[in-house]
Structure 1
Amino acid sequence: MHIHPFDFSEAHYRVYAAVREAAHPEVLLDIAVLKHLDQTRAQSDVLERFLVEQGGQAVGVMEFATPYYDPKPGALEVRYHLRPEAHSLEDAVWGFLMERLAPHSPKELLAQVREDWPEYRYLLAQGFAEVERRWESVLDLHGFDPAPFERPLPPEMALRPLSELPWQEEGFQRALYALETSLLQDVPSTEPINLWPFEVWQERTLNDPNLLPEGYFLALQGEQMVGVTMLFKSSRPQTLRTGLTGVLRSHRRRGLALALKLRALEFARRYGARYIRTANHQINRPMLAINEALGFIKEPATVLLRLNPVRQKPG
């Protein structure tokens, strides 16, 4: 086994994607998104990534990093993927990761893996414990009939896409940021959600290479933004993925969340997508209930795991 630092070149990104696809062909890697995540990290973030070779062939990738979406003092997120024929290297890969991250003295390690992946079982054996799980769900628009769900909007409300609004003006962006951060604080989650500063949200969200302004819908009462749902492009064929969906507390129980979802599904169909993918935390029952009613089908859960305290293996 030979281990090489990831050099963030186009060639290494392609190798990373090939290994990921071989390890988990059911979860495609979008290289443009991975680059965007790498390029929009804070300067203070830790990020060390490596390629694993055996017999002259790349058979694995591994990394540890400051959690991107929810950074916490003293926490590092670990990740590794191995081609099926290279699973005998798991102990060696894990030992290398533990040795390399030790100088950072992390208080806890985090990992996110699907429950049907071999990494899940391996990390549990290393002492990781489950914190929470969320489900990816898929809706096939070919079999979807919106008619049973359609209701008139309250007369004072309107649904408009971001593309028809002055979304490139900072004043509008700050109002949108205020809406989204307010909604995120209400998302049911086992772990508290740490909110990004405005400038970080601005760079990471509005410069996302998969941003689809015409598929990013706002519920408006006059000029006040009171709800949102958003679709993003996907590397999967004929697929769009859903981001945050939510409505301010003051405007709930008026059918706005469902109306926003239906408007997004109508757009997706006209856009030429067949599949819509979304993800929900297991305790977010209101949104899970809406998605289940619409016909979204759950896939195996993605599980957040934590190792705390971090102990070095003897020897």
Structure 2
Amino acid sequence: MRWLSVGLAAPVDARALVAVQNSLYPEHTVSEDAFSFTEHRYLLARAGEEGVGYLVVSRSQREGDPAGKLWAYLTLGPGSGETVVRALYEGLETLPDAHVLYTMTHETQTERQDLLKRLGYREVLRSYGADLDVGAVDLSALGDPETRLHAEGVVIHTLAELTGDPDYLDKLYALYEDTNRDIPEVGHSDTLSRAEFRAHLNRDDGLPEAYHVATGGGLYIGYSELFRGREADTLKQEATAVRRSHRRRGVALALKLRGLSYAQAHGYARVNTGMASNNAAMVALNTRLGFRPQRAYLTFRKDLD
């Protein structure tokens, strides 16, 4: 390989980043606008003058995270191998704010996993998508936790129903803040501000009538999010979370069953979701509902201090 250099990219280097990305995915080309130098840093590897790979580097701002926690995502140009990967990850360690490093790779990329281990990384998490055949779900066989919860004063509402309350956003955001710290982090994900959370609720793929919130004793105690999927007959299950004070009472199951009932009533064929190995309770619940896991992504960590 020609002389290899690694360094932080500047906006003038965006063309080199674009060239790497588009050489790897020629059917989905991007422009320089795809790279935000205000939100991320880009560690670029060049062979001579040609870009051959890069790491997208993001500083974690999730509540409770240690200072100096960085996420890095690799894009490797065609024909680039271990030499480039090693150079990029070694360059990552030279960043002045690098103390705890996280990165991800697919379970099929065994050589990449072996290299990360040789570089001192250890696997800490497996995450994977999962699909559910909506038509194959027998809701009656899964019980009726909602009726029992209702007798205990817990009521499930749709987001569409709650918007009549002028304080609904404050209550829902408080629920999000209280539960978000317990949701396993899969990839870089900062805690949303109130404004960002409101934008999340108002996404173009939003379905307020399929977004369910459990309330009890004047408090929002749990929620489960369904959004439109990429295909017209698919829904995307995002976060499901319950306050610690109300867990192990069937609230999450009741919320998910309400969502599946919506999916069946509106003719959806599939629901997609994500799961993580360090959330055994949710993995067990999704497995009980019939979700079938896909291939896993592996999260690796390296502590520099």
Task: Say whether the 8 Å CA contact 1:227–1:248 is kept in structure 2.
Answer: yes
Q: CA 1:8 to 1:207, structure 2 compared with 1: closer, same or farther past 3 Å?
A: farther
Q: CA 1:242 to 1:17, structure 2 compared with 1: closer, same or farther past 3 Å?
A: farther
1:68-79 correspondence runs (5 A): 69=62, 72-79=66-73
1:114 and 2:106 are equivalent in the alignment: yes
Task: Say whether the 8 Å CA contact 2:43–2:92 is kept in structure 1.
Answer: no
**Residue equivalent to 2:173:** 177
1:218 and 2:190 are equivalent in the alignment: no
Q: CA 1:249 to 1:106, structure 2 compared with 1: closer, same or farther past 3 Å?
A: closer
Q: CA 1:104 to 1:239, structure 2 compared with 1: closer, same or farther past 3 Å?
A: farther
| Structure-1 separation of matches of 2:260 and 2:170 | 27
| Structure-2 separation of matches of 1:204 and 1:14 | 32
| Structure-1 separation of matches of 2:202 and 2:19 | 22
Q: CA 1:52 to 1:271, structure 2 compared with 1: closer, same or farther past 3 Å?
A: farther
| Cα deviation code 1:120-164 (max 9, x no counterpart) | 333223221112223432212232221201415224333222122
Alignment RMSD (CA, Å): 4.4
**Residue equivalent to 1:313:** none
Task: Say whether the 8 Å CA contact 1:52–1:58 is kept in structure 2.
Answer: yes
Cα distance, 1:279 vs. partner? 2.4
Cα distance, 1:177 vs. partner? 1.6
**Residue equivalent to 2:55:** 62
The alignment's TM-score, normalised by the length of structure 1, stands at 0.71
Q: CA 1:293 to 1:100, structure 2 compared with 1: closer, same or farther past 3 Å?
A: closer
| Structure-2 separation of matches of 1:92 and 1:159 | 52
| Structure-2 separation of matches of 1:81 and 1:266 | 40
Letter in 1 for 2:159: L
Letter in 1 for 2:132: L
Cα distance, 1:218 vs. partner? 0.5
| Cα deviation code 1:33-88 (max 9, x no counterpart) | x97xx88x9x7x6x12378799x9987553222136565411221111336x4243
Letter in 1 for 2:136: G
1:19-58 correspondence runs (5 A): 19=24, 47-49=40-42
Q: SS in structure 2 opposite 1:73?
A: coil
Letter in 1 for 2:99: K
1:126 and 2:122 are equivalent in the alignment: no
Choose from 284, 291, 301 the match for 1:306.
Answer: 301
1:144 and 2:137 are equivalent in the alignment: yes
Cα distance, 1:269 vs. partner? 3.6
| Structure-2 separation of matches of 1:141 and 1:57 | 48
1:285 and 2:280 are equivalent in the alignment: yes
Q: Any gaps of 5 or more consecutive residues in structure 1?
A: 23-28, 311-315
| Structure-2 separation of matches of 1:18 and 1:274 | 35
| Structure-1 separation of matches of 2:210 and 2:279 | 23
| Structure-2 separation of matches of 1:13 and 1:210 | 28
| Structure-1 separation of matches of 2:19 and 2:156 | 40
Task: Say whether the 8 Å CA contact 2:180–2:191 is kept in structure 1.
Answer: no
**Residue equivalent to 2:156:** 159
Matched residue count: 290
Task: Say whether the 8 Å CA contact 1:6–1:49 is kept in structure 2.
Answer: no
Cα distance, 1:268 vs. partner? 2.8
Task: Say whether the 8 Å CA contact 2:212–2:225 is kept in structure 1.
Answer: yes
| Structure-1 separation of matches of 2:54 and 2:231 | 22
Task: Say whether the 8 Å CA contact 2:210–2:225 is kept in structure 1.
Answer: yes
| Structure-2 separation of matches of 1:81 and 1:271 | 39
| Structure-1 separation of matches of 2:44 and 2:273 | 30
Q: CA 1:104 to 1:199, structure 2 compared with 1: closer, same or farther past 3 Å?
A: farther
Task: Say whether the 8 Å CA contact 1:6–1:50 is kept in structure 2.
Answer: no
Letter in 1 for 2:106: R
| Structure-2 separation of matches of 1:104 and 1:270 | 54
Identity rate of aligned residues, in percent? 24
Q: CA 1:138 to 1:6, structure 2 compared with 1: closer, same or farther past 3 Å?
A: farther
| Structure-2 separation of matches of 1:104 and 1:172 | 42
**Residue equivalent to 1:240:** 235
Which moves more between the two structures, 73-82 or 251-260? 251-260
| Cα deviation code 1:100-120 (max 9, x no counterpart) | 762434112111223223533
| Cα deviation code 1:274-311 (max 9, x no counterpart) | 2222223323222222111111112233222112228x
